Structure 1
Amino acid sequence: MKNRFFYFVILLLAVCLSANANDFKKKRKKQETTPALADALKKEKTEDKSYDKVITKEARTKKGLITLHMVKSTFYMEIPVKLMGKPMLFAGRVAEISDNKDVVAGQMPQDPMLVEWSCDEEKVYLHNVISRSVCDENEPIAISMERNNLKPVIRAFPIKAFSKDSSAMVIDATKLFCADERPVSPFIPASPFDALFGMKKMKGVFKADLSSILDFKAFPQNISVKSRVAYTVNGTPFTAVVHLSMIQLPDEPMRPRLLDPRMGYFSDRKVLYSTEKDQSEKIAYVNRWRLEPKPEELERYKKGELVEPAKPIVFYVDNALPAKWKKYIKLGIEDWQPAFEAIGFKNAIVARDFPTDDPDFDPDDIRYSCFRYATTTVANAMGPSWTDPRSGEIIQASVYMYHDVLKLLHNWKFVQTAQVDPKARAAVFDEETMGASLRYVASHEIGHTLGLMHNMRASYSIPVDSLRSPAFTAKYGTTTSIMDYARNNYVAQPEDKNVRLIPPLLGVYDIFMIKLGYAPIYDAETPADEYATLNKWIQEKAGDPMYTYGEQQILGTLDPASQSESLGDDAVKASRYGIKNLRYIMDHLVEWSAIENRPYDQTSELYYELTKQYQRYMGHCMAYIGGLYLNHPVAGDEQKGFVPVSREKQKEVVKFFFDEFKEQPKWMAKKEIMTLFEPNNDMVANLQANLLRNLLNSSTLGKVGMNAKYSERPYTQKEYLNDLYQGVWNKTEQGKALDYYDRNLQYAYVQYLLKELELTKDAEKSKGLSLELLTEDHLPCYCYEYHRHARQMSANTKISDLGISSKTLYYGQLVKLKELLKNRRHSASGDDKVHYDYLYFELNSVLK
């Protein structure tokens, strides 16, 4: 029997085992089995590998793509030889968890693995397929590609027995599905963002004796295994049930679509090697579902008739969601249907309930895409997708909605629209009001699962005053893309009637982007051939800002046109409207939030939400200082890669900040409100000091220098610092009396520059974070899992610190200030004299 088996192996290896999965165009000629391997496979074995002695009568067995057996506590896989060399996706999803701090039930904490099986006469091997490099298999250099892209072995399994018909090998796979390894581990890998935001991911010590395989199933195209894995985390017991899936991928990958930087899509990045170019080329495959007409309806589709796709995108909605929310979630999912109808597909994306009459349905099975709900205090939602890295095809996607996203939606709506919408003032929103917000969340997250990235430039295409127009907002809402962070219409004033206050169900940009990613291009033979058509479609919309893509800027904002949470084409004008509304809401805060005979908890929470919204507005304006409008130019379109923000706009922002420093305490520090809460260490003064530090910091100064370098009428670093100096010290120069907040700003000014020059006792240099990173929106919840595609989600906005240059500028400001204080301290009186004396003492002690 064994001789027959190994002869069968030799034949199948010759057919199945291609030495490289890094295809780009066509299949290469199959590699033949080497004589050495053939000789090894023909060797006789003396030990008994009888099937019946391994798979005994007490075995629980499930048959499918791979036959599975459980004998007592040992888990066996009966792997067909025909699967050798076949690509498979191996993934784990948490089904149940004892502590959902980092991961909730339904979440996939680890990226799926692309794997392949191979074997010899002794063992079966599991390989991790690395597909970063690609090459046309007809290229003469393809042989080098194979030699230099070996698939690493990640597991080896001794062959325990052969199937009775010699077509499969039996291995003990217990440790494959019950171990502290990817993709079994229920912990999220560490991210570069963790250190930046002070996050600490959970880690555990694996307890093998407490872990076991609970259940398993086999299907024609996949298998699923449910394991309970136990750990101790910081000495505390921790347990998770992980649903593991291994699914066979198509032998022929979907034809990739190459990413153009003007397309707002997630992608799988590759390096293309070719003899037709003088260097390797960085390319990327768009992440998208395989959406094709049924073969029998192809001609109808080409004639322009609406047809249903061969395999629609189906999202199953969690049965844990209450009916009053579920109907809005379903609407949000299917709001994308018009975008697919525009390219010829009807019912391309549908929402369904968890089936009750299908015993094989399991929401944790990788075959099913689901909208999941989790009872956790996390105020967030996210929509990750998982792809076949050979092509960018989305294999599975899920949306996770955490319970306290309701709190986030409630508070946003209050601070952004309570001035105009009485329903936003309610302690508990009515079903319709909360439903509309949940629909927006669902639609946005589904956009991510379709492959779309955030488009933070969409709202910038709308003139600010158009947001006060009933006709305009009825058509466009607050933005031209649901993938923007443009939540509610904070520009709308109390006197504005019938203005739409929420984003559109779907924006014109979203419909266009689905065309770029999903519309078939039948006259192209290769991915590269598609470029001419894609470029033509993009050029047709060139010059129309409603169709422009702008990256999310996570680690600092360089482009003021692409900002989170902003509205309109002028952040200063929009923020003036927004702050006017905040003042109106603050005047009514107690009236609209206090609950009779209850503590002022809700009032306190909403007060702090108002202050955070104010910080967002100031952060939006801050982005103009040293800002650059970023573009994606291509040869021939006459666009520049970036355009500096004008000196006039930057000076307008500086003036705006100092105007706000005067006005802010009048409405934000009202005693009749502040005395209702617990005492705090003067939050308003601290907020102002933080704003000033952001104006002064070396990163901002670096941006100003970069902007000035490329401006026709530059706003120089020296002029900028002089304007800040005038804003802070103007009253002192004029001999006017200071108030508490004036003295606070002046103290913050001196302390910050001393620290930058390392002249304080605490000599640790304060790099500081940009203002937008100080708000809760970026700490650390993103609606897309930030450990994946993190580089793609952020524009390259890093500006180097000026080092010696910034120090000399700061030093000059302090020398000038020392002389001013020397003169003014003698003519001042009261608190101002003590204030000036102390600041002069500090400067005189370090500036000799």
Structure 2
Amino acid sequence: MKYWIGKLAIFIVLLYNLFIYSDYAGANQLSNIDVQQANALPAVENLANTDNDIAKNRKENFCRFNEVVKGINKVEGLFTLYCTENSGKIYLEIKPEQLNKDYLAIATLESGVGESGIYSGLPLSDFIFYFQRVNNRLHFVVRNVKFRAESRPEQRSLARSFSDSVLYSLEIANIDPQNENILIDLNELLMQDLPGLTTILKYSLQADYRLDAHKSYFGNVNSFPENIEIDSIYGFSSLEGANLVTVPDSRALTLKVHYSFSQLRENNDYIPRLADDRVGYFITAFQDLSNKNPHESFVRYINRWHLEPSNPNVPLSPPKKPIVYWIENAVPLEYRDAIREGVLMWNKAFEKAGFQNAIEVQQMPDDADWQPADVHYNTIRWFNSLDAGFARGPMRVNPFTGEILDADIMVDANMVLSIQQEYHALMEVNPSLVGKNPCQALWGSQKLGANNSLLPDSEFCYGMESSNQAAMGALALSILPNTTASSETMKEYVYQYLRSLIAHEIGHTLGLRHNFHGSTMLAPEELNNTEITHTKGLVSSVMDYLPVNIAPQGVQQGDYFPGVVGPYDEWAIEYGYKTSPSAVLEGIIPESEKSFLEQIALASPQPELSYATDEDIWDINPLANVWDMSSDVLLYSQWQMDNARVMWQRLDKGYLSKGESYNNLRVSFNRVLKYYFRNATLLSKYIGGQSFLHLHTSDNPSWTFVPVSLLKQRQALIKLQEYVFAENAFSFSPQLLNKLAPSRWEHWGRSVPNNRLDYPIHDRILGFQSAVLRSLLDSDRLNRLQDIELKTLPGEALSIPELFHTLQTGIWAEVLTPGEPKPISSIRRSLQREYLNILLEMMLGTTDTLEDGRTLAWYELRQLQKAIDVRLKQLSESIDIYTLAHLEASGDRITKALNAHLLSK
């Protein structure tokens, strides 16, 4: 019996020896299953092997491990790195206790091409990963963090129901037999297209690029106790290249990606905080399969920093560890003070949450030995581009808790250059942008895959139009009679703009979402009262997309942009960061803060705390807009359109300086025209509009939806008629129109537009009029108007027949208004034809509309046909042929359409 026990013991030792100490560098390694099935191998059959043999194998493998890393530069830290100088290889050493452990990966595009969405500093992806040993290979696995379970049975079900993502299976180069540390060739991981650049380049540049291993190499490599920082320089090649002008030859381009792999912070006393839809935070959400709540299976935590008071027993305390932002050394010197002040604006909000100097700002030294993409540094970065013109405030969070771990704000130099060179046009006036969501209008609706976050999202939109708004303000500063243009005034204007822009982006990195109700706090007459705006604020939230505040004629100019955060910002920071009384207790869980947080959220019905974010601004709420201001948008928009009319008059009176190109006049004219129509578009949201309030039953609300009053809707229609559709809405002198010359520069970065050389004034005006008119009569708005009739008392809603009748009597006033017939101008004829087109499309069913809209279109067309017939009989021989032909053709079209409609029935 002892004999067989001894043999069995030797057999087990040999199996262990084969599993642990075999040569892992070869291609014919034994897997776990191979070892278990190795009964026929000589090593197993040779039961005479002794402890000396085992020691010999251990020594040989140790020698092989030492040979691999011999003479290689060793960099110790979170992971030990071995970097060769000649071959460009990097080996990564992984300890056994580091297997199956979660780490945070961040990939940042450190150098781009400055064009078409490939910009330096853009975040590529961030995710949780772990290393898993499977047989004789090491898997690089992205953790699935969307589902969780607490109980053991549900965890078993979870494990087999939802998959992690194994991105790479890496060959094990060697194993140290002394400590079982695993060595892998990092080239197999980071010289591959880990962030998906190939897909991004194809999407952005519309060309096929491939990663060229011969042109790719490692740059700076550093390892610290909690993170490793590695630069990968990727060479990409394309047989045909792309339509790029910023690189010498688009068939080849080089991109640098910075990787930051860091230890995920655990057991640091951070308490996840439950989200509330009345307060606008970015959230970390997961589905809790253990949750038995029949109404909600998701758990939502707000994203916030781990901020703890150094003394929780006093009302105001410095934090144990402040949030520190570094101004990158690439930021021009003249802008650093404005950026610093924009960051520190938020300390006022944190004081309401009990923190003194919660945020600090430091300057990155010129000789810094760290990079802005390092996970341990929050930076405000400056980059240059040919066509970007945006700022963005991305952050990285712990997907298990919502704790913010890193933030890096990007600012394109064009954001400021567009102001200082206010005559430089970012874009020609584009009627298709009117009334659309700004993000869709600028970037389209397509998206990349889940991890390819390079392409623009809502944050990028705070750029193109923001720059345009700022440039518009600079133009107003230099041309309106109630402003004083000087170098000092312009310097202060740029300072205010940049400070406000940075404050907005800092808000994002603190966890806050947009609040498009933020601009509606003050009445129009309060906007330029600095006694109010310097204390309470110009807006309730800097998280809105804010236009430049241009004073109406006869009013002294106040602040152009907010200089302090508003009441909503302070309240939101209080919800996110104020320490709850229970937080000092051990074992605290997020649910224990519910009562504390509810007391803060109960303030939400206050008007200055109103909240509306990106998904809330789709044509329904006239006070949830981008680029609006004041609690009375009807009056505000009228003021701005009046300002625009004054600016056109002054452009007509020798605005250009001696020797200046007339193209600058065209650019300024375009800018003012776009500003005019953007404000007109704000009026259209009152028609069928409803305010939407983020309220709970505990807030004692009357209604969640509150329709715009009938009086306000009628006022909006009157203003639209006066400023958009009326005969005298647009009046430009021939002298001005004949000076609007386009640029004729043709070279890289500048091209001559492939359209009319002279200014297409009719097309511009009709394009905008059509956009507003079609928006007023689209199916969504008509459906809302019909629904609101059931949601209000009789006589309190704007009916669809009233909308049709008001538009028709205004647009066709030359026909429907009694009196002596008069000629119809070319701009009015174009508008009338467009109105006719819309109604004909509705009646004939060539466009989507509700049936009541279709029958009302038929009714209005019949009334119009009768009026045209009457008017034609009244025309004298002296009437112009334009008007006669227009009326006869319009009447004929209506007659044929009515007959066709009758036949189709």
Is TM (by shorter chain) over 0.5? yes
Matches of 1:245 and 1:37 in 2, distance apart?
37
1:614-637 superposed Cα distances (whole Å, 9 cap, x missing partner): 112111111111111001121232
Matches of 2:301 and 2:567 in 1, distance apart?
24
Letter in 2 for 1:610: V
What residue number does 2:306 align with? 290
Q: Mark the CA change 1:569 to 1:227 in structure 2 (over 3 Å): closer, same or farther.
A: same
Letter in 2 for 1:366: V
Do residues 715 (structure 1) and 798 (structure 2) align?
yes
Report matched runs for 1:291-330 at 5 Å.
291-293=307-309, 297=310, 300-310=311-321, 312-330=322-340
C-alpha contact 1:131 1:389 (8 A) present in aligned 2? yes
Any idea what SS the aligned residue of 1:597 has? coil
Do residues 725 (structure 1) and 738 (structure 2) align?
no
Matches of 2:893 and 2:237 in 1, distance apart?
52
Q: Mark the CA change 1:321 to 1:4 in structure 2 (over 3 Å): closer, same or farther.
A: farther
Q: Mark the CA change 1:670 to 1:476 in structure 2 (over 3 Å): closer, same or farther.
A: farther
Matches of 2:19 and 2:326 in 1, distance apart?
44
Do residues 81 (structure 1) and 81 (structure 2) align?
no
Matches of 1:585 and 1:428 in 2, distance apart?
22
What residue number does 1:365 align with? 374
Q: Mark the CA change 1:664 to 1:512 in structure 2 (over 3 Å): closer, same or farther.
A: farther
What residue number does 2:473 align with? 413
Report matched runs for 1:313-352 at 5 Å.
313-352=323-362
Do residues 216 (structure 1) and 248 (structure 2) align?
no
Matches of 1:592 and 1:258 in 2, distance apart?
60
What residue number does 1:122 align with? 136
Aligned counterpart for 1:642 among listed residues 705, 724, 729: 705
1:480-510 superposed Cα distances (whole Å, 9 cap, x missing partner): 21112223223x2343236333213211221
C-alpha contact 2:478 2:485 (8 A) present in aligned 1? yes
Matches of 2:69 and 2:692 in 1, distance apart?
67
Report matched runs for 1:58-207 at 5 Å.
58-71=71-84, 72-108=87-123, 110-135=124-149, 137-138=150-151, 141-163=154-176, 165-182=178-195, 187=200, 204-207=209-212
Aligned counterpart for 1:751 among listed residues 817, 837, 849: 837
Do residues 506 (structure 1) and 565 (structure 2) align?
yes
C-alpha contact 1:324 1:431 (8 A) present in aligned 2? no
Do residues 277 (structure 1) and 293 (structure 2) align?
yes
What residue number does 1:687 align with? 768
TM superposition shift of 1:174? 1.1
Aligned counterpart for 2:408 among listed residues 366, 373, 398: 398
C-alpha contact 1:558 1:627 (8 A) present in aligned 2? yes
Matches of 2:393 and 2:563 in 1, distance apart?
19
Letter in 2 for 1:282: F
Matches of 1:40 and 1:383 in 2, distance apart?
56
TM superposition shift of 1:330? 1.3
Letter in 2 for 1:529: S
Q: Mark the CA change 1:485 to 1:99 in structure 2 (over 3 Å): closer, same or farther.
A: closer
What residue number does 1:375 align with? 384
TM superposition shift of 1:446? 0.8
Q: Mark the CA change 1:473 to 1:586 in structure 2 (over 3 Å): closer, same or farther.
A: farther
Q: Mark the CA change 1:805 to 1:180 in structure 2 (over 3 Å): closer, same or farther.
A: farther
TM superposition shift of 1:240? 0.5
Aligned counterpart for 1:535 among listed residues 589, 598, 606: 598
Q: Mark the CA change 1:616 to 1:188 in structure 2 (over 3 Å): closer, same or farther.
A: farther
- Identity, in percent, stands at 22
What residue number does 1:789 align with? none
C-alpha contact 1:285 1:391 (8 A) present in aligned 2? yes
Q: Mark the CA change 1:613 to 1:69 in structure 2 (over 3 Å): closer, same or farther.
A: same
Q: Mark the CA change 1:418 to 1:653 in structure 2 (over 3 Å): closer, same or farther.
A: farther
Do residues 488 (structure 1) and 548 (structure 2) align?
yes
TM superposition shift of 1:381? 1.0
Aligned counterpart for 2:891 among listed residues 822, 837, 840: 840
C-alpha contact 1:478 1:488 (8 A) present in aligned 2? no
What residue number does 1:780 align with? none
C-alpha contact 1:88 1:246 (8 A) present in aligned 2? yes
What residue number does 2:633 align with? 571
C-alpha contact 1:689 1:744 (8 A) present in aligned 2? no
1:255-293 superposed Cα distances (whole Å, 9 cap, x missing partner): 221110011111122223335423652332211111123
What residue number does 1:610 align with? 672
Larger Rg: 2
Q: Mark the CA change 1:420 to 1:349 in structure 2 (over 3 Å): closer, same or farther.
A: farther
What residue number does 2:246 align with? none
C-alpha contact 1:624 1:645 (8 A) present in aligned 2? yes
Any idea what SS the aligned residue of 1:251 has? coil
Aligned counterpart for 2:277 among listed residues 250, 253, 261: 261
Matches of 1:113 and 1:662 in 2, distance apart?
53
TM superposition shift of 1:438? 0.9
Q: Mark the CA change 1:570 to 1:219 in structure 2 (over 3 Å): closer, same or farther.
A: same
Matches of 1:529 and 1:37 in 2, distance apart?
52
What residue number does 2:519 align with? 459
Letter in 2 for 1:387: V
TM superposition shift of 1:169? 0.4
Letter in 2 for 1:163: D
TM superposition shift of 1:405? 0.9
TM superposition shift of 1:560? 0.9
1:508-565 superposed Cα distances (whole Å, 9 cap, x missing partner): 22111111111122416321221211110122x3442112212235873211111111
Matches of 1:341 and 1:38 in 2, distance apart?
64
C-alpha contact 1:315 1:351 (8 A) present in aligned 2? yes
TM superposition shift of 1:63? 1.7
C-alpha contact 1:417 1:501 (8 A) present in aligned 2? no
Do residues 497 (structure 1) and 556 (structure 2) align?
yes
1:700-754 superposed Cα distances (whole Å, 9 cap, x missing partner): 3233233333222222222222221222223202353222232121111112333
C-alpha contact 1:386 1:396 (8 A) present in aligned 2? yes
Report matched runs for 1:821-836 at 5 Å.
821-828=868-875, 829-830=879-880, 831-836=882-887
Matches of 1:502 and 1:592 in 2, distance apart?
29
What residue number does 1:769 align with? none
Please give the root-mean-square deviation of Cα atoms over the aligned residues, in Å. 3.3
1:316-353 superposed Cα distances (whole Å, 9 cap, x missing partner): 21212221111211111122122223323233212211
Matches of 1:428 and 1:180 in 2, distance apart?
49
Matches of 1:427 and 1:722 in 2, distance apart?
52
1:212-235 superposed Cα distances (whole Å, 9 cap, x missing partner): 223322111111221111224652
Letter in 1 for 2:570: I
1:40-73 superposed Cα distances (whole Å, 9 cap, x missing partner): 9999999986544762434333221111223414
Do residues 387 (structure 1) and 387 (structure 2) align?
no
TM superposition shift of 1:161? 0.6
C-alpha contact 1:111 1:386 (8 A) present in aligned 2? no
Any idea what SS the aligned residue of 2:552 has? coil
What residue number does 1:813 align with? 860
Any idea what SS the aligned residue of 1:211 has? strand
Paired residues, what number?
A: 764
C-alpha contact 2:275 2:281 (8 A) present in aligned 1? yes
TM superposition shift of 1:372? 0.9
1:740-790 superposed Cα distances (whole Å, 9 cap, x missing partner): 23212111111233345568xxx7x5xxxxxxxxxxxxxxxxxxxxxxxxx
Any idea what SS the aligned residue of 1:229 has? strand
Aligned counterpart for 2:492 among listed residues 406, 425, 432: 432
Matches of 1:847 and 1:346 in 2, distance apart?
73
Aligned counterpart for 1:594 among listed residues 642, 656, 662: 656
C-alpha contact 2:212 2:235 (8 A) present in aligned 1? yes
What residue number does 1:795 align with? none
Letter in 2 for 1:368: Y
Letter in 1 for 2:298: K
C-alpha contact 1:272 1:281 (8 A) present in aligned 2? yes
TM superposition shift of 1:183? 6.1
What residue number does 1:18 align with? none
What residue number does 1:657 align with? 720
Per the normalisation by structure 2, the TM-score is: 0.78
